[in-house]
Amino acid sequence: MTHIERDVVIVGAGASGLTAANKLRDAGLSVAVLEARDRVGGRLWTREIDGALLEIGGQWVSPDQHALIETVEELGLETYSRYREGDSVYIGPSGELTHFTGEMFPVSAETEAEMERLITLIDGIVAEVGPHRPWEHPRAAEWDQVTWAEWLEQQTDDVEARDNIALFIAEAMLTKPSYAFSALQAFLMAASAGSFSNLVDADFILDKRVVGGLQRVPIELARRLGDDVFLGQPVRRIDYTDAGATVTADGMSISAKHVIVAVPPNLYSRIDFQPPLPRVQQQMHQHLSLGLVIKVHAVYETPFWREAGLSGTAFSPYEIAHEAYDNSNYDDPRGTLVAFVSDVKADRLFTLSPEDRQKEILTSLSHYYGPETLNPVVYFESDWAVEEWTRGAYAASYDMGGLHRYGAHQLEPVGPIHWSCSDIAAEGYQHVDGAIRRGRDTAAEILGARSL
Which residues share a beta bridge with 36? none
Omega of the bond leading into 268 within 30 degrees of 0 (cis):
no
How many Cα atoms within 13 Å fall on the side-chain side of residue 381?
Answer: 23
Those residues whose C-beta lies under 8 Å from the C-beta of residue 421, and which sit 6 or more positions away, are 12, 14, 16, 262, 263, 264, 265, 435, 438
- Annotated binding residue at 259? no
Site for ligand FDA in 47-76 (CB under 6 A): 57-60
169 binds ligand FDA (CB under 6 A): no
Mask for 319-358, x = binds ligand FDA (CB under 6 A): ----------------------------------------
Pick from 347, 371, 369: which is nearest to 359 by CA?
371
Burial class (CB in 10 A: 0-12, 13-18, 19+), 50: exposed
Q: Is 35 one of the annotated binding-site residues?
A: yes
Q: How far is the CB of 110 from ligand FDA (least distance, A)?
A: 33
Report in angstroms how near the CB of residue 262 gets to ligand FDA at its nearest. Answer: 6
317 touching ligand FDA, by CB under 6 A: no
Number of Cβ within a 10 Å radius of residue 95: 10
Residue span binding ligand FDA (CB under 6 A) among the ranges 31-39, 83-91, 104-112, 304-312: 31-39
Tell me if 93 sits within 8 A of 313, measured CB to CB. Answer: no
What is the size of the binding site for ligand FDA (CB under 6 A)?
41
Between CA 339 and CA 379 the distance in angstroms is: 11
Using CB under 6 A as the binding rule, whether residue 394 contacts ligand FDA is answered as yes
Is 142 marked as a binding-site residue? no
Q: Cβ contacts of residue 103 below 8 Å, gap of 6+? A: 200, 201, 202, 203
**397 is an interface residue for ligand FDA by CB under 6 A:** no
CB neighbour class for 157 (10 Å; exposed up to 12, middle 13-18, buried from 19): exposed
Q: Does 285 bind ligand FDA (CB under 6 A)?
A: no
- Strand pairing class (396-398; 417-419): unpaired
* Least Å from the CB of residue 321 to ligand FDA: 14
Among 10, 20, 31, 35, binds ligand FDA (CB under 6 A): 35
Question: Binding residue per annotation — 235?
Answer: yes
**Site for ligand FDA contains 219 (CB under 6 A):** no
Kindly state whether residue 44 participates in binding ligand FDA, applying the rule CB under 6 A: yes
Give the helix/strand (H/E) hosting 167: helix 159-169
Q: Residues 300, 329: contact at Cβ < 8 Å?
A: no
Output the DSSP codes for 98-149. Answer: EEE-SSS----HHHHHHHHHHHHHHHHHHHHH-SS-GGGSTTHHHHHSSBHH
* Candidate segments 1-9, 42-50, 73-81, 350-358, binder of ligand FDA by CB under 6 A: 42-50
Q: Around Cβ 331, how many Cβ atoms within 10 Å?
A: 7
- Is 380 an interacting residue with respect to ligand FDA (CB under 6 A)? no
- 107 is annotated as contributing to ligand binding: no
Q: For ligand FDA, which residue of 6, 7, 8, 16 counts as binding (CB under 6 A)?
A: 16
Residue 44: CB minimum distance to ligand FDA, A:
5
Q: How many CA atoms lie within 13 A of 294 on its CB side?
A: 23
Nearer to ligand FDA, 12 or 317 (CB): 12
- DSSP letter for 277, please: P
Query: Is residue 432 part of the contact set for ligand FDA (CB under 6 A)?
Result: yes
| Per-position x/- string for 224-263, each x denoting binding to ligand FDA as judged by CB under 6 A, each - no binding | ----------xx--------------------------xx
Is residue 200 close enough to count as binding ligand FDA by CB under 6 A?
Answer: no
- Determine if 82 is a binding residue for ligand FDA (CB under 6 A): no
Q: Quick check: 391 binds ligand FDA (CB under 6 A)?
A: no
- Residues 154 and 364: their CA atoms lie apart, in Å, by 31
170 DSSP assignment: I
168 binds ligand FDA (CB under 6 A): no
91 pairs with which residues across the strands? 97
Nearer to ligand FDA, 25 or 37 (CB): 37
**Measured between alpha carbons, how far is 101 from 132 in angstroms, rounded to an integer?**
34
Query: Measured from the CB atom, is 282 or 302 closer to ligand FDA?
Result: 282
Residues within window 399-428 making contact with ligand FDA, judged by CB under 6 A: 421-422
List, as residue ranges, the binding site: 16, 35-36, 235, 340
Residues in contact with ligand FDA by the rule CB under 6 A: 11-17, 34-37, 42-44, 57-60, 234-235, 262-264, 267, 270-271, 295, 382, 384, 389-390, 393-395, 421-422, 430-433, 435
Binding-site residue positions for substrate: 340
Residues belonging to the binding site for FAD are 16, 35-36, 235
